[in-house]
Amino acid sequence: MTNKYLSDRINALAESQTLVMNQKSRELAGKGVDVINLTLGEPDFNTPDHIKEAAIEAIHHNITNYPPVAGFPQLRQAVVHKLLRDNDLEYSENQIVISNGAKHSLANVLQCTVNKGDEVIIPTPYWVSYAELVKLAEGTSVFIETSVQQDFKISASQLEAAITPQTKVVMLNSPSNPSGSVYTYEEFASLVEVLKRYPDIIIISDEIYETIIYDGSHVSLAQFSDIKDRVVLVNGVSKGYAMTGWRLGYIAAPDWIAKATTKLQGQYTSGACSIAQMAAVAAIQGDQTCVKAMRDVFRRRRDLACEKIDSIEGFHVNKPAGAFYLFPDVSTYFGKANGDFSVNNADDLCLYLLEKAHVATVSGSAFGTPACIRLSYATSDELLITAFDRISKALSQLR
């Protein structure tokens, strides 16, 4: 519902469906209902102790003043070192910009590169905020549809067909939220062959789930030298180090984009939290054992969740190679009902599962793929087993 006193841009903006469903589950839980929440993309681990200790030390040393807009030099250098260490990528400090989370980084880049009417190519399914961030930049989203049969990954021919003279940006996300799909080097190489023919297109490579890969290894689009000068690498510490609440993301980008985003950020937010920045230095430079330990737990949960969901008739799902989500096609259940409750689409199915199974999920319509729903397995084994048993029972009652 619009409000005449609000701007057109905010009236046109959609709410985040992950947050909406999370709120619905909280409201139901507040009434005493035992709800299992599989909506949020948040590790259920605490931030590792050595990272918290670095933040406490920063407070004791009074690192509490305004930081540089683009980030503390020691954190930007830590990111430069990480990119060389983990990705074999060479960047200079002035190509790194620290922001208030990877979402902020994405918003900065789109605001700095997209003009009204510019087209931004987004494969589906996409993370919920992509299309809305493009809308805020007055751009036009052009969606490339994928399916579970193709592991939710686009082909070179699909990319080629989507490009027009108005194309300004291509947004790619690997590992993917919500599908968990991970592009291989060969798959990215085929896309790069297309992008090489269009030198004016900027590529945003969202790599926030880089550390949570179970099969194969992470590939960054910035590793392809033919397009590196047009790639904006987006990453952060939220997922890999269980630091979602610290709100710390970054870009590695061509110098002109880094300067532009710093200019914008200087007017919008200034520099990211000084304490969070010092914690991020410890995360990126410190012992990475915690990253592997969390990934091992997620791998076990991935396998458990896949085993449970494979036993549910009518759910068609790819086995995710990364992140911590399942994204099954649930269209088999559209048109079915249980008493007065009819399931006509994925939105209805999510509400049905919340009301009848007391399990909160997110509709695929929020991710541009309305035949699917998203379930996060970033929770305990016990809760996952109970959740899938509840889902299976509730679905069996649909006729």
Average pLDDT over residues 37-50: 93
pLDDT attached to residue 31: 87
Domain boundaries, the chain: 8-46+290-394, 65-285
pLDDT attached to residue 41: 84
Chain mean pLDDT for the chain: 96
pLDDT attached to residue 253: 98
CA 282 – CA 84 distance, rounded (Å):
17
pLDDT higher than threshold 90 for residue 175: yes
Q: Which residue has the tokens 């599908």?
A: 179
The residue with greater pLDDT, 1 or 45, is 45
Say if residue 157 is exposed, middle or buried (CB neighbours under 10 Å; 0-12, 13-18, 19+): exposed
Average pLDDT over residues 81-87: 98
Average pLDDT over residues 372-376: 97
Exposure string for 42-61, b = 16+ CB within 10 A, e = fewer: bbbeebbeebeebbeebeee
Q: What's the half-sphere exposure (Cβ side, CA atoms, 13 Å) at 86?
A: 18
Tell me the pLDDT tens digit for each residue of 318-361: 999 999 999 999 999 999 999 999 999 999 999 999 999 999 99
CA distances from 132 to 17, 177, 240, 274, 329 (A): 12, 16, 25, 29, 24
Q: Check whether the bond before 123 is cis (ω within 30° of 0).
A: no
Please report, rounded to a whole number, the percentage of residues in the chain having pLDDT higher than 70: 100
pLDDT attached to residue 162: 98
Please report, rounded to a whole number, the percentage of residues in the chain having pLDDT higher than 90: 91
Q: Which residue has the tokens 């985003």?
A: 261
Superfamily of domain 8-46+290-394: Aspartate Aminotransferase, domain 1 (3.90.1150.10)
pLDDT attached to residue 80: 98
Interhelix angle 73-87/274-285, rounded to 10 degrees, is 30
Average pLDDT over residues 268-285: 98
CA 259 – CA 256 distance, rounded (Å):
5
* Domain spanning 65-285: CATH 3.40.50.2300: no
Contact 222, 231 (CB under 8 A): yes
pLDDT attached to residue 1: 58
pLDDT higher than threshold 90 for residue 20: no
Average pLDDT over residues 81-109: 98
Angle at 60 between CA 58 and CA 63, to 5 degrees: 45
pLDDT higher than threshold 90 for residue 99: yes
